[in-house]
Chains A and B, each alone.
Chain A
Amino acid sequence: GESVGLHLPTLSVQEGDNSIINCAYSNSASDYFIWYKQESGKGPQFIIDIRSNMDKRQGQRVTVLLNKTVKHLSLQIAATQPGDSAVYFCAETFGNEKLTFGTGTRLTIIP
């Protein structure tokens, strides 16, 4: 499944499938990007980050892709599990400035 971020804030994916969550960021000068996961009633939890001099970074079951040309960021989650159900936020920053968060996408894993 695929989300277009701000315009489609809900994404449902079958357990075991891969999911892609998209984010359009606003500041072309941003040089650092982070994905956060927020479970119900909890604070955001760091998932993965990427600097602007890279276009791809992989973690455990997650991959972040950065396309600076169109100011687009995506989070790929492989082999989704029920525990992946949460709201996912992208965040951007420039230099040592504060983080600016996107609206978020709610990911629901269907058993």
Chain B
Amino acid sequence: NAGVMQNPRHLVRRRGQEARLRCSPMKGHSHVYWYRQLPEEGLKFMVYLQKENIIDESGMPKERFSAEFPKEGPSILRIQQVVRGDSAAYFCASSPFAGGSTGANVLTFGAGSRLTVL
């Protein structure tokens, strides 16, 4: 089991470009979470998805950010028209269960995608 795979590991974009971050959950996991981490800070929840459904996007900025988890293929976090403030590490986590308290001990994080906006 390869674990949660995120790519690219590092991505450099210029202001105004688009960033696409991909996350392949662990085999058998149908719940995906995206978190953002600024340097020297904790992880901030962005969005929770199940296959073909966005369950909770309360942490996602209203503009420029979108996420999907299609029936086939990885989950995608898309950031349009990136700005310097988008520079951060973006972590994906997957779980076989819904929510935190039933699944945190099997919630597995990927190694993250580090976005740098020039």
Contacts and interface: CB of A to CB of B under 8 A. Distances in A.
A97 B111 contact: no
A25 to B, nearest CB: 12
Contacts, number: 73
A44 B112 CA distance: 9
Contacts of A15: none
Interface residues of B, number: 27
Nearest to B97: A96
Contact of A98 (B33, B40, B111): B33
A32 B100 contact: yes
Main secondary structure of the interface of A (DSSP, over half): loop
Contact of B104 (A41, A42, A99, A103): A99
A89 B93 CA distance: 15
Contacts of B109: 43-45
B88 interface: no
Interface in B37-58: 40-45, 48, 56
23 contacts: A32-B104, A43-B4, A43-B109, A49-B105, A91-B104, A93-B99, A93-B104, A94-B100, A94-B101, A96-B98, A96-B99, A96-B101, A96-B102, A98-B33, A98-B48, A98-B99, A99-B33, A99-B45, A99-B100, A100-B45, A101-B35, A101-B43, A104-B42
Which 6 residue pairs across A and B have the least CB separation, nearest first? A96-B99, A93-B100, A43-B109, A32-B101, A101-B42, A101-B43
